[in-house]
Homo-oligomer: A and B are copies of this chain.
Amino acid sequence: MNSRAIALPIGRLLILISLMMIIPAITDMFAHNADWQIFLVCAILVGGFGLLTSIACQGQGRPQNFREAILFVNTAWLVFSFAGAVPMWASELNISFTDAFFESASGLTTTGSTILTGIETLPPGILLWRALLQWIGGIGVVSLAIWLLPSLRVSGNQLFALETSETATKPYGRIAPFLFRLLFLYSYLSVSCCLLYLACGMTLFDAVVHAMTTVSTGGFSTSDASFGQFQGLSVYWVATVFMLASSVPFLYLIRSFENRRFEFDVQILLLFVLITTGAFGVLYFERFVVHDTPFHMLTLAVFNVVSVVSTTGYGANDYLQFGAPVIAIFFVLTFFGGCAGSTSGGFKMFRIAVLLSYIRVLLQRMVRPHRVIAPKYHGKRISISILEGTFVFAVLYSATFVLFAVFYLFLQMNLETALSASATALANVGPGIGDIIGPAGNFQNLPDAAKWLLAIQMILGRLEILGGLLLFTPDFWRER
């Protein structure tokens, strides 16, 4: 294993992070907030460290094989979470390093769980920094899904017959030209979202922050009330549309833009079925509690359901007051997530499609053992390696959920909080259910050990579990 080939790209990305820190520094300087010096000093420190690393490892290339790639990705998430935590820890927020790391990891993984309260009173630099972490995390997640995860056989990108299919089948190949198109689409979505938010009456600052946390399905906001701070329904629909757009495969979006036509995709269909079912369920029980116009109630129901399914985690109102069945709906929706190759997290729709097709075929085979039937996705036969990858992921996803829930129970959380915390961190959704970590609660009140475990679980969720788990197998570290 060539550790310098891993250190070089880490160093380069640290320079990127340090350049990003200039943005909140300038914002806070104009807002006459003392934190601008903190951001500037952190930018110089992180940038200097990145520069030294880059110079020391000059000419070492980049990760050359699967193991180096995995090690790079794991190191990157940890190093950037630390780097992102430093300015928040040093700032006037006056929080512990555990809290700062939790907030930073929650941002970079686009989870959006927060330990901060009174968010509307915080200086603009901090709010912008949290949003920037989510925005950069979002593009990182999509790049990861295209670059590395195909070789884990868990990303589902192999299922698309794309003109760019050579990048999907050739991992760690040259994906620079493709990344450029991806970055263009991501920026295009962000700017459109921001302009529409402005048109709906948001301030420029709110529009910029929320656009960044919408397209990354991150969910950080500028107020404890999240989207509850905004008047009028149009802003909810803009958010709904862009949360949905960020939950479909970005490769699919790029192709649709370039070919100027939308094609049918099973996982997108399933996503809409799930959202429609969920929204009707919520609406049914919302009737008994909220008394408003039908369109108002529909807006809130759709917004909240899309917010959870897209793993964004904005809140329009405290939907947990709608009673046990609605809590149940949101708890179950937490696990699903959007489509493969999007910024959303969770189990993901293509896996549901693969599992449904496979189980249907196996049931048919039992009744008709002599007929040859193969599981299909989108009319194409699903390869054994994708079936294997999907089933292993399903087992690991459940096992990780249960294991961390048990850890949280051991840390004296109650059952509801423990289960919900484990689910919301693993699926990178953000808020959970219950008094403590629900939309009206705060992760601040959890013990420090729980915050570290949650941060690890968020990163595991982003590495589709396997990407992180591999580090703990003896075979990974054995040379040859």
A: residues with CB less than 8 A from B are: 66-67, 151-153, 324-325, 327-329, 331-332, 355, 358-360, 362-364, 366-369, 388-389, 391-392, 394-396, 398, 402, 405-406, 409-410, 412-416, 418-419, 466, 469-470, 473, 475-476
Contact = CB atoms under 8 A, between A and B. Distances in A.
Contact of A418 (B328, B367, B469): B328
Nearest to A405: B328
A399 to B, nearest CB: 9
A409 B324 contact: yes
Chain A binding surface, main DSSP class: helix
15 contacts: A152-B366, A325-B410, A325-B412, A328-B406, A332-B402, A355-B395, A362-B389, A362-B392, A363-B469, A363-B470, A364-B473, A367-B473, A391-B391, A391-B395, A398-B398
A367 B412 contact: no
Closest 9 CB pairs of A and B: A328-B409, A391-B391, A367-B475, A325-B410, A415-B416, A363-B473, A364-B475, A367-B476, A362-B392
A329 B368 CA distance: 42
A324 B473 contact: no
A247 to B, nearest CB: 21
Contacts of A469: 363
Given A358-B392, A394-B398, 12 more contacts: A151-B366, A324-B415, A325-B409, A325-B410, A362-B389, A366-B466, A367-B475, A367-B476, A368-B475, A391-B391, A391-B395, A394-B395
Contacts of A466: 363, 366
Contacts of A367: 66-67, 470, 473, 475-476
B324 A414 contact: yes
A415 B476 CA distance: 40
Contacts of A476: 367
Contacts of A151: 366
A148 B475 CA distance: 40
Contacts of A362: 388-389, 392
B332 A406 contact: yes
A470 B368 CA distance: 12
A386 to B, nearest CB: 12
A66 to B, nearest CB: 7
Interface centre among A332, A355, A389, A409 (most CB of B within 10 A): A409
Contact of A396 (B359, B398, B413, B419): B359
Contacts of A394: 391, 394-395, 398
A327 B408 CA distance: 12
B368 A331 contact: no
A445 B151 CA distance: 52
A366 to B, nearest CB: 6
Contacts of A391: 391, 394-395
A473 B327 CA distance: 31
Contacts of A405: 328
A442 B476 CA distance: 50
A109 to B, nearest CB: 22
A355 to B, nearest CB: 6
B388 A327 contact: no
A332 to B, nearest CB: 6
Contacts of A331: 415
A445 to B, nearest CB: 16
Contacts of A414: 324
A334 to B, nearest CB: 11
A359 to B, nearest CB: 6
B324 A366 contact: no
A366 B312 CA distance: 31
Contacts of A473: 360, 363-364, 367
A405 B419 CA distance: 14
A274 B464 CA distance: 27
Given A324-B414, A392-B359, A415-B327, A366 B66 contact: yes
